[in-house]
Amino acid sequence: MPETIEEYYARIEAAVDDEGRLALIAADIPNWDIFPFEADGLRLKPVDPLADVEAPRHGEEPADCWCVQGVDPEHVVWRDEHWFVGAFERSGAPVIMMLTPCAHHDFINLPSDLAAEMGRLMVALGAAIESLPSVARVHMSKWGDGGAHLHLFFFARPTRMPQLRGTCLALWDDFLPPVPDDVRDDNTRAVVTELVRTYGGRAVGSAASG
């Protein structure tokens, strides 16, 4: 039988020190060569107690979600009948893009036909981002603690910068100097042009101009 959250949390409580902190493991992330911060003096925050309930996310009720209200998110650069792609206004990475369904779905209740489209789109968008000359890899992430509407992140990892490899790219991005607006727009248009060529859909917003 799967354990309860109380049983899971009890194991954490048993591992913390007198201040409620877990130990940093010598071989763990803070000592990886891609970790953005010096490990010396770094310590984890005390572990908080269990919350009584999970906090509701924005758009948990479909009627409250911007997608149902017909409001386009800012910075949309590509769309088709079922999906749209947005580009972040500010990024230290060459581009950060987000893939989102037009209709209100979360990851775990995405209809099978849209799930199949999502797979094809993820591959096509990833390949389009990696076609940029400044990009070596595309990293994809799915978080869903802030918004209930499905949104997938695509981070462009700069080429020939191995320190920016892997899971810490999202942290590095907060500290890297912002890509100038005109460069970001050029990168975005190039990605969208390639996505339209290989998958379909149409460029919109800033990606449709210039």
Query: Position of tokens 């094809």?
Result: 120
Residue 12 has pLDDT above 60, yes or no: yes
Any idea of the CA torsion for 104, 107, 113, 116, to the nearest 10 degrees? 140
Could you tell me if 130 and 137 are in contact, meaning their C-beta atoms sit under 8 angstroms apart? yes
Tell me what pLDDT residue 70 has: 57
Q: Which residue has the higher pLDDT, 95 or 66?
A: 95
Which of 16-20, 26-30, 102-106 shows the lowest per-residue confidence on average (mean pLDDT)? 26-30
Tell me what pLDDT residue 186 has: 93
Cα 192 off chain centre by: 18
Tell me what pLDDT residue 27 has: 66
Q: Average pLDDT of 126-148? A: 94
Cβ density class 133-170: b for 16+ within 10 Å, e for less? ebbebbbeeeeeeebbbbbbebbbbbeeeeebbbebbe
Residue 184 has pLDDT above 80, yes or no: yes
- Rg from Cα positions in the chain: 20
Q: For the whole model, what pTM was predicted?
A: 0.89
Could you tell me if 57 and 148 are in contact, meaning their C-beta atoms sit under 8 angstroms apart? yes
What percent of the chain lies above the pLDDT cut of 70? 96
